[in-house]
Amino acid sequence: MSVRSIFIAGAGTIGQGIAEVAAASGIEVVLSDLGEDLLRAGLAGIESSLDASIERWGLTAGEKRAVLSRIRTVVGIDEVAGCEFAIEAVPEKIDLKMEIFRRFDEAFDPEAIFVTTTSTLSITRIAAETSRPGKVVGMHFLHPVPKREVVEVVRALKTSDETLAAAVALATQMKKQVVEVYEYPGFVTTRVIIPFINEAAYALMEGVASAEGIDTAMKLGFGFPMGPLEIADSIGIDELVQRMEGMFHELGDFKYRPCPLLRKMVRDRRLGRKTGEGFYKYPDAGEGAR
């Protein structure tokens, strides 16, 4: 059976992307955050993404209206009756995610499935905050969600077969290619991409080549559509460092310790596309993170 409705806690970049893709797949979405200003910004981000699809991919104005009509916003975790999935899409902080899941457990029907979008944290630990760990699963969407075909569906220690199958079905309904993963810090994509980006940052810091040179070498040499420093700007340098620190804390392996240049960029608020400057400059980008 098709999923009819989902609840998303967090109207940031990932929450926006999930809401857009789900609504485009015919799913009714309840998008939640802490205040009306955050929800307005979230809806504006979704509209901007849809407008880009109109310009580049031939999405029609009517289709845009249909997508937006399926997205309803609420402040807090209320009005959740009937939602089959509750998806957490808040920043990568374990205490925050555990608090969200405690609130999910109180608010949602016993049949609802809980999803965390974490890329580095323990899903088993998050699930332990609920009375239904068997109904908790990870779905790691890559940024930008509408443009990335893959989603990692992650089985935690107590995730049931039925829950895993339901998450795979939801991802398939959203027209995503599923990679099933067992819980481990970083799963597949984050575990592999972090050392790649980190080493590129070290090469730049040590004067081996320019940012453009490093990205060009990797794109033309190995067929990547984007270079590692371009990827870093797309993810957000602050989010990238947060993931690196999480991986370093979990595994203690120095290949995950953030390059000092990345830490300096976070202090300088050069966070990538979202602030208008990272390894490259983006004149048309917003200043929301400054």
> Sign of the CA dihedral 237, 247, 186, 154?
negative
CATH architecture for the domain at 190-275: Orthogonal Bundle (1.10)
Which residue has better confidence, 289 or 28? 28
Question: Under the phi-then-psi rule, with left for phi > 0, alpha for psi from -120 to 50, and beta for the rest, what region is 196?
Answer: alpha
pTM recorded for the entire structure: 0.89
What are the structural domain ranges in the chain?
5-182, 190-275
Cβ atoms within 10 Å, residue 110: 8
For the stretch 109-129, pLDDT in tens is 999 999 999 998 999 999 999
Least confident of 69-73, 76-80, 242-246, 251-255: 76-80
Question: Residue 228: enclosing H or E segment and its boundaries?
Answer: helix 228-235
Written in H, E and C, the secondary structure of 101-143 is: HHHHHHHCCCCCEEEECCCCCCHHHHHCCCCCHHHEEEEEECC
For the stretch 60-87, pLDDT in tens is 899 999 999 999 999 998 767 789 999 9
| Token duo for residue 58 | 């031939």
For the stretch 32-52, pLDDT in tens is 999 999 999 999 999 999 998
**pLDDT for residue 285:** 67
How far apart are alpha carbons 169 and 27 in whole angstroms? Answer: 13
- In 3-state terms, what secondary structure has residue 271? coil
CATH of 5-182, one of 3.40.50.360, 1.10.3470.10, 3.40.50.300, 3.40.50.720: 3.40.50.720
Contacts of 141 (CB under 8 A, 6+ apart): 14, 17, 18, 117, 148, 151, 176
Cβ atoms within 10 Å, residue 174: 23
Cβ atoms within 10 Å, residue 202: 14
**pLDDT for residue 290:** 34
Least confident of 93-102, 154-163, 218-227, 248-257: 248-257
The answer on pLDDT for 250 being more than 70 is yes
